[in-house]
Amino acid sequence: MGLTSTTLLIVVIALAVGGLAGSALWIWPRLTARTFGAVMGRAGVLAGMQVLTLAAIGLLVNNYFGFYGSWDDLLGIGSAQVPAVQEAGPAPGREVRPEDPAQDQARDPAQERMPDRLQVLRTADVHINGNFRQSAGQLKEVLIAGGSTRLSTLAYVYLPPQYFAEEYAHTRFPVIVGLTGYPGDPRNLISRMNMPAVAAHAIAEGRMPPTVLVLTRPTVAPPRDTECMDVPRGPQVETFFTRDLREAVTRSLRVAATSAGWGVLGGSTGGYCALKLTMRHPEAYSAAVSLSGYFQPPADATTGDLFGGSARLRRENDLMWRLTHLPSPPVSVLVTSSKQGESNYLSTLRFLDTVRPPMRAASLILPSGGHNFTTWSRELPQTLPWLANRLTAHAGHRSGSPAGPAVPEQAPPPRRPGPTS
């Protein structure tokens, strides 16, 4: 029986309930003696009941949240092979164009300053493949303060080694904003998904251009889950990510100033936010990756009323409603799911079938994978370069070193019939 099968869940619950009733009515009265055997028997009954009860609770929680999709996922013995990204249509190649030379000359990387809206707390070198003699870039822990929203968040900024190279002194780098789920901890993007090292490795191999990462979480008004929403009479989180964060990073670092050089990637809640921020604000982000994300915001005790009772706002934040009722934005998105272990599989297929030009969509569907960091870490070596190669790589480095080849595009797959209800 599969880990997520209803049959297994019913069997384990039945064993737990039956075992509890049987031990109370039949076994326990026969173990009342003070002999060593009776004492060990009582200990064994208690241990067995705890194991069955915890197993039942664990299966219920796993089936609800989708942490693990199979026994192989749970035990960590499944195949590490990940299928290729499937493009739903031809994608444009990366555009290379110079920024304003006057702006480039105004920024001296040796004397670069970070204003109060991006305060550096500490800096560390990034290494790959255990090579501690050579730096693969820098990782800065920073505090980003919003000028218009008065919100702030802790973040980690990865700067690739090219950022400090003389031949790239007049280059503006593309930016990828990485988002956790809810409530999230931005350190998980480093300790659990290893995003800076994955990016450094892909850059070193030429699979993605040198790219700046800004790693944070969508929960900037804790403990509330705002779903990256400008809440009426509440925290303006959407504005923070589409205006304040971009302004703070652009003023502090030598990065692209236009949306063509900005993308966003997130998992779970961060995946929904990545899609929503890009689809609603193509002037801020031109591409997005959603790892196991969903397509409409939940309403529960953690969110409260996100829409101030407005049906219009609720519809506008439903991504499927936007695709069917509003003009498609000129952005590129990639969505991931798993045939087994993810609750968003069918909704992901419906989303892909609903996308229309000028919006472009791609997918990465695993045979099996749960709603967890293990699955997203398997997907990251493909999805991160995919996103970076959809962003504008600005010219300006004097050596003419390539920014990295574009990912080879695949022929678009045949259109699938929409799933039936």
pLDDT per position as a tens digit, 354-366: 999 999 999 999 9
117 φ/ψ angles, rounded to the nearest 5 degrees? -75, -10
Residue 34, number of CB atoms within 10 A of its CB: 6
- The per-residue pLDDT for 26 is 75
Q: Which residues contact 155 (CB under 8 A, 6 or more apart)?
A: 141, 142, 143, 144, 186, 214, 215, 216
- The per-residue pLDDT for 84 is 66
In a domain, residue 419? The reply is: no
Pairing mode, if any, of strands 262-267 and 287-291? parallel
In a domain, residue 350? The reply is: yes
Q: Is the pLDDT of residue 150 over 80?
A: yes
In a domain, residue 92? The reply is: yes
Residues 87 and 56 both lie in one domain: no
- The per-residue pLDDT for 387 is 98
Confidence tier at 94 by pLDDT (50, 70, 90): very low
Confidence tier at 75 by pLDDT (50, 70, 90): low
CB-based contact 333:278 (threshold 8 Å): yes
Residue 266, number of CB atoms within 10 A of its CB: 31
Vertex 139: Cα angle to 138 and 142 (nearest 5): 130
Q: How many domains does the chain have?
A: 2
Residues 149 and 188 both lie in one domain: yes
- The per-residue pLDDT for 128 is 85
Three-state SS letters, the chain: CCCCCHHHHHHHHHHHHHHHHHHHHHHHHHHCCCCHHHHHHHHHHHHHHHHHHHHHHHHHHHHHHCCCCCHHHHHCCCCCCCCCCEECCCCCCCCCCECCHHHHHCCCHHHCCCCCCEEEEEEEECCCCCCCCCCCCEEEEEEEECCCCCCEEEEEEEECHHHHCHHHCCCCECEEEEECCCCCCCCHHHHCCCHHHHHHHHHHCCCCCCCEEEEECCCCCCCCCCCCCECCCCCEHHHHHHHHHHHHHHHHCCECCCHHHEEEEEECHHHHHHHHHHHHCCCCCCEEEEECCCCCCCCCCCCCCCCCCCHHHHHHCCHHHHHHHCCCCCCEEEEEEEEECCCCHHHHHHHHHHCCCCCEEEEEEEEECCCCHHHHHHHHHHHHHHHHCCCCCCECCCCCCCCCCCCCCCCCCCCCCCCCC
Task: Give the chain's length.
Answer: 421
Residues 36 and 175 both lie in one domain: no
- The per-residue pLDDT for 37 is 79
In a domain, residue 274? The reply is: yes
In a domain, residue 219? The reply is: yes
- The per-residue pLDDT for 32 is 75
In a domain, residue 401? The reply is: no
In a domain, residue 150? The reply is: yes
Distance CA 228, CA 219 (A): 8
Residues 326 and 230 both lie in one domain: yes
Residues 27 and 149 both lie in one domain: no
In a domain, residue 393? The reply is: no
Q: Which among 391, 393, 353, 264 is positioned nearest to 86, based on CA atoms?
A: 353
- Range 34-62 average pLDDT: 79
pLDDT per position as a tens digit, 296-323: 999 999 999 999 999 999 999 999 999 9
Residue found by looking up tokens 């164009």 in the block: 97
Between 256 and 75, name the one with better pLDDT: 256
CA separation (Å) from 198 to 65, 120, 132, 195, 381? Answer: 27, 23, 16, 5, 6
Task: Give the amino acid at 298.
Answer: P
Residues 156 and 26 both lie in one domain: no
Residue 97 structural domain: 78-388
Residues 109 and 241 both lie in one domain: yes
Q: Which residues contact 154 (CB under 8 A, 6 or more apart)?
A: 141, 142, 143, 144, 186, 216
- The per-residue pLDDT for 2 is 66
Q: Give the tokens for residue 385.
A: 């370069």
- Of 44-58, 214-228, 393-407, highest mean pLDDT: 214-228
Residues 87 and 206 both lie in one domain: yes
Pairing mode, if any, of strands 332-340 and 287-291? parallel
pLDDT per position as a tens digit, 239-285: 999 999 999 999 999 999 999 999 999 999 999 999 999 999 999 99
What residues form DSSP beta bridges with 362?
A: 87, 334
- Range 327-353 average pLDDT: 96
Residues 260 and 357 both lie in one domain: yes
Query: Domain end: 43, 65, 87, which one?
Result: 65
Q: Which among 414, 413, 368 is positioned nearest to 85, based on CA atoms?
A: 413
Between 127 and 380, name the one with better pLDDT: 380
Residues 30 and 99 both lie in one domain: no
The dihedral through the CA atoms of 327, 175, 240, 294 has a sign that is positive
Q: What's the CATH code of the domain at 269?
A: 3.40.50.1820
Q: Is the pLDDT of residue 100 over 80?
A: no
CA 289 to chain centre: 7
Q: What is the pTM of this model?
A: 0.73
Residues 304 and 163 both lie in one domain: yes
Residues 293 and 210 both lie in one domain: yes
